[in-house]
Amino acid sequence: MSRPRLHESLRALFEHKNPELLTALLRHEDFADFLKLHGISEGEGEFVQAFIHKSFSHEYEVTHQEQLEFLGDAVLQLILTEELYERFPLESEGRLSKLRSSMVNEASLATLARGLKLNELILVGKGEFRKNLFDQDTVLADTFEAMLAVIYRKNGMDFTRELFFSWLDLYLPGVFESDLKNFDWKSKLQEATLAKYKSLPKYTAIEKGQGFLVELWVEGKKITEGTYPSKKSGEKELAETVLKNGLI
């Protein structure tokens, strides 16, 4: 008979509120399986902390992920800064900084987290569980950063960097090349809206068939939209369309 998955055990804890169930949940084998699968050397204690949302922490008085998230953000920034420095030695500091910001965003980190099935390991409170908070981009991105902090603390920067880029190749292949190509039009549009309106353009996307309906908004007004195979390609093409056709 197969063992209950982590979220099944979480539902049991919500129902019975047994301290023994809490202890078992925090030692659940799904965490150990993840560590083993990715070759991560880490005792389960701090690793599990990376998956504890504040809502779960408040209900069960265990340490949440936020401090680890703070450290993980810094680790991620350093990894990407060094990589961009090596890949694009002739680019300006300002351009590299903007490119890094375009890459390290909530959507991209959530994509990595879903690829790794981190949503199946996140512990949230009872009400938040009903709302599927564990599968929201913000929570997934924060959890990814918290997890990266633990990996760095226990395995070092070289291991963390290598593991991160292996995940990047799997779930966001070609991200450096595609982001550099997309960056020009999006960056130019940002500069144009900042100069004219003192605000940034906003992109929204919803799944539509096999692609995404992407909309571009400026000052609360929808300027244009289109359906594209990916969010990033849509954002780039809409920005290009707006600038070439003088739509702002």
Residues 35 and 66 in one domain: yes
Residues 147 and 204 in one domain: no
Residues 65 and 132 in one domain: yes
Catalytic residue numbers read 73, 145
Among 173, 188, 213, give the residue marking a domain's end: 173
Q: How confident is the model at residue 157 (pLDDT cuts 50, 70, 90)?
A: very high
> What's the confidence (pLDDT) of residue 43?
62
Residues 229 and 121 in one domain: no
Residues 122 and 184 in one domain: no
Residues 44 and 156 in one domain: yes
Domain contains 1: no
Model confidence at 8: pLDDT above 90: yes
Model confidence at 179: pLDDT above 60: no
Residues 143 and 184 in one domain: no
Question: Which CATH number does the domain housing residue 30 bear?
Answer: 1.10.1520.10
Residues 115 and 150 in one domain: yes
Nearest 5°: the CA angle 168, 173, 178 is: 115
Residues 50 and 18 in one domain: yes
Residues 138 and 42 in one domain: yes
> What's the confidence (pLDDT) of residue 108?
86
Domain contains 79: no
Model confidence at 115: pLDDT above 90: yes
Q: How confident is the model at residue 183 (pLDDT cuts 50, 70, 90)?
A: low
Among 138, 173, 208, give the residue marking a domain's end: 173
For the segment 12-18, the average pLDDT, to the nearest whole number, is 92
> Across the chain, what does the average pLDDT equal?
90
How many structural domains compose the chain?
A: 2
pLDDT digit string (tens) for 54-89? 999 999 999 999 999 999 999 999 999 999 999 888
Domain contains 155: yes
Among 173, 198, 217, give the residue marking a domain's end: 173
> What's the confidence (pLDDT) of residue 180?
59
Domain housing 32: 6-73+97-173
For the segment 160-180, the average pLDDT, to the nearest whole number, is 85
Stated pTM of the model: 0.75
Model confidence at 186: pLDDT above 90: no
Q: What percent of the chain has pLDDT over 70?
A: 96
SS3 for the chain is: CCCCCHHHHHHHHHHHCCHHHHHHHHCCHHHHHHHHHCCCCCCHHHHHHCCECHHHHHHHCCCCCHHHHHHHHHHHHHHHHHHHHHHCCCCCHHHHHHHHHHHCCHHHHHHHHHHCCHHHCCECCHHHHHCCHHHCHHHHHHHHHHHHHHHHHHHCHHHHHHHHHHHHHHHCCCHHHHHHHHHHHHHHHHHHHHHHHCCCCEEEEEEECCEEEEEEEECCEEEEEEEECCHHHHHHHHHHHHHHCCCC
pLDDT digit string (tens) for 204-245? 999 888 789 999 999 999 999 999 888 878 888 899 899 989
Residues 32 and 138 in one domain: yes
